[in-house]
């Protein structure tokens, strides 16, 4: 599985996902469009609205070795987010990013 950050979808950043049996491919879209994203404001529930984007994320691995395996039955994704009003007019290095954790239902 690979995830790719995209822009200009629901929210201003979101993630697409692709899967393959081996690194050489062939790669197939798992959730690879604005309307059917891996992680976006359309398919993520926020108990309290704290972000308008899902950015710079990473899947949490099942182990702690170089294989970088994930558990498909327990996907967790850590990412950074921010409200649009909190980032307005700020240079990128001063945006007050916060960390979030996505877990599949």
Structural domain total, the chain: 1
Report the 3 state secondary structure along the chain. Answer: CEEEEEECCCCCEEEEEEECCCCCCCCEEEEECCCCECECCCCCCCCCCCCCCCEEEEECCCCCCCCCCCCCCCCEEEEEECCHHHHCCCCHHHCCCEEEEEECC
Question: Given this model, what pLDDT does residue 11 score?
Answer: 74
pLDDT over 80 at 10, yes or no: no
> Containing domain of residue 54, as a range?
2-103
For the chain, the average pLDDT equals 92
What are the tens digits of pLDDT across the range 29-44? Answer: 999 998 999 999 999 9
pLDDT digits (tens, 9 = 90+) for 11-25: 789 999 999 999 999
- pTM score, two decimals? 0.85
């Amino acid at each position: 599985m690979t995830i790719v950050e995209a822009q200009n979808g629901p929210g201003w950043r979101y993630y697409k996902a692709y899967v393959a049996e081996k690194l050489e491919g062939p790669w197939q879209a798992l959730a690879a469009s604005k309307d059917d994203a891996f992680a976006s404001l359309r398919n993520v529930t926020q108990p309290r609205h704290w972000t308008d984007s899902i950015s710079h994320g990473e899947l949490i691995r099942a182990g702690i070795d170089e294989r970088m395996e994930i558990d498909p039955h327990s996907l967790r994704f850590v990412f950074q987010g921010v409200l649009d009003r909190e980032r307005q007019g700020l240079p990128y290095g001063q945006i007050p990013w916060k960390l979030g954790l996505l877990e599949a239902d």
